[in-house]
Structure 1
Amino acid sequence: MKQTYFKELIYSKNYLIQKPGNLYEQYVNAFAFSEMVKSHNKAPNKRELQLQAQDNWRKIKMKDKDTIQNIIFELLHTPIQPSPYPFISQKKTVEPPRPPLTRSPLTPINNLPEPSNNIQLKSNAMAQNHLLENLQKVKNDLCEYNNLLRAVSTPELRSSFTLKIKKLEETVTVEEKKLKRLRDNAAAQQRTRKKKQKAALEENVMEIYDAPGRPSFFVKDPNLLEKMHDCVEFGAADYKR
């Protein structure tokens, strides 16, 4: 008579990232472990699981560190339920050997830190704020794609993620140059205003009106140049028509 016995399924706690180095990667692995336990699936699709983990991470990443660690602890202690098919035959089936996977050589990507949100700008720097929001979004995407690249093993996905990362890095470089140019322009305007104020206070130099009874536009609106720049570059003029 064929003998059968119960075998408990074993799930990996480092299924997506083999060596987690920060709180985000620990959470991703813990989330994957919990989902595998709930679905009784030891080898789910890594890409889909990674995307689900990232969506849930966005909901909790603003919480304090202790709270996130408690969530990770609970996920790692998800109770393992018996499989719907708990009994397996003692007879082993021999599978034919599989050809080894060959990975195309890829340039290693440096680990990126979690994007920060602590960059502060002046409230009147509308153009800078607009660029900075785009830059932060691109850096968020870049960080997530680097995490995905570390998790996947198939050559097709690694090649696709590498190309996407390269494009995002180029976008970051372009946006940072634009932001630097705007900051330099703002600093130059600030120096000009200070020079005029100093001349008015120390040298008793008065601003000349451009028409009788009407002060110049720059006296009434010191941010006029910046507003003109916004209208041209960001389409604010079309919106105001």
Structure 2
Amino acid sequence: MRSIPSGSREESLPNLPTIRTMDPVPEISVNASSQQKAANEIQIAEKKLTEFEQIYNITTDSQFWLDTFKKIGSLRDEIRSNKGKIIKLKRNANYAQKCREKKRKILDENQEVIRYDKPGCPSLLFNHPNLYDHIHDSIEFGVADEK
């Protein structure tokens, strides 16, 4: 393999900036473990990327310089991939939430399910305070249907 002469270094590959701004990672909810894992991978890759960019800008060895340039490219691809993964996971979570809301709305409209945990709907025990005693008596004394 031929080594790149030090004078042609500037001509073959562009210089990378020493200081760069990092794009913020979208806010992730606490219970989204896959999104959190991807965000952690982004943070690790961005730290490595910063270190490699600093090494890239100070190195004089052409082969090491080229290897560092390739590593920087792969780290940028990894960051881009993980950001895309987070976007996709957020979109899927949003879709699942909308489906749950739609299903809950349909069940409420058709009165297939009565919810007692929302405001204005007291607990079943408030409406029937002797429910447990009635169930117990029905089972104990055989008043309940045999089926």
Q: How many residues align?
A: 106
Normalization by structure 2: what TM-score? 0.59
Q: For residue 102 of structure 1, what is the aligned residue in structure 2?
A: 7
Q: How does 1:1-241 map to 2 (within 5 A)?
A: 101-104=6-9, 105-110=12-17, 111-113=19-21, 119-201=26-108, 203-206=109-112
Cα pair 2:15 2:57 within 8 Å, conserved: no
Matched residue type, 1:144 = E
1: CA distance, partners of 2:65 / 2:6: 13
Larger Rg: 2
Any conservation in 2 of the 1:115–1:143 contact (CA below 8 Å)?
Answer: no
Over the matched positions of the two proteins, sequence identity in percent amounts to: 21
* Residues 142 and 124 (structure 1), Cα distance of their counterparts in 2 relative to 1, 3 Å cut: same
How far did residue 114 of structure 1 move? 5.3
With CA pairs under 8 Å and 6+ residues apart, which has the higher RCO, 1 or 2? 2
The TM-score normalised by the length of structure 1 is 0.38
Structure 2 unaligned blocks of 5 or more: 114-147
Tell me which residue corresponds to 2:121.
none
Contact preservation (8 Å) 1:142, 1:169:
yes
Structure 1 residue 159, shift from structure 2 partner:
1.2
Q: Is the 8 A contact 1:131 1:179 kept in 2?
A: yes
* Aligned mates of 1:115, 1:137 — CA distance in 2: 14
Task: Rate the CA distance shift 1:126–1:132 in 2: closer, same or farther, 3 A.
Answer: same
Distance in 2 between the 1:101 and 1:126 partners? 47
Greater CA deviation, 168-177 or 121-130? 168-177
Amino acid of the residue matched to residue 163 of structure 1? K
- What root-mean-square deviation, in Å, do the aligned CA atoms of Structure 1 and Structure 2 show? 2.5
The one-letter code sitting in structure 1 at the alignment partner of 2:7 is: T
Change (3 A) 1:115 1:188: closer
- Asked whether the 8 Å contact 2:42–2:83 carries over to 1, the reply is yes
**In the TM superposition, what is the alpha-carbon distance from 1:168 to its structure 2 partner?**
0.9
**Distance (whole Å) between structure 2 residues aligned to residue 205 and residue 178 of structure 1:** 39
Deviating runs (4+, > 3 A) in structure 1?
Answer: none
Separation in structure 1 between the aligned mates of residue 55 and residue 22 of structure 2, nearest angstrom: 14
Q: 1:178 Cα shift?
A: 1.9
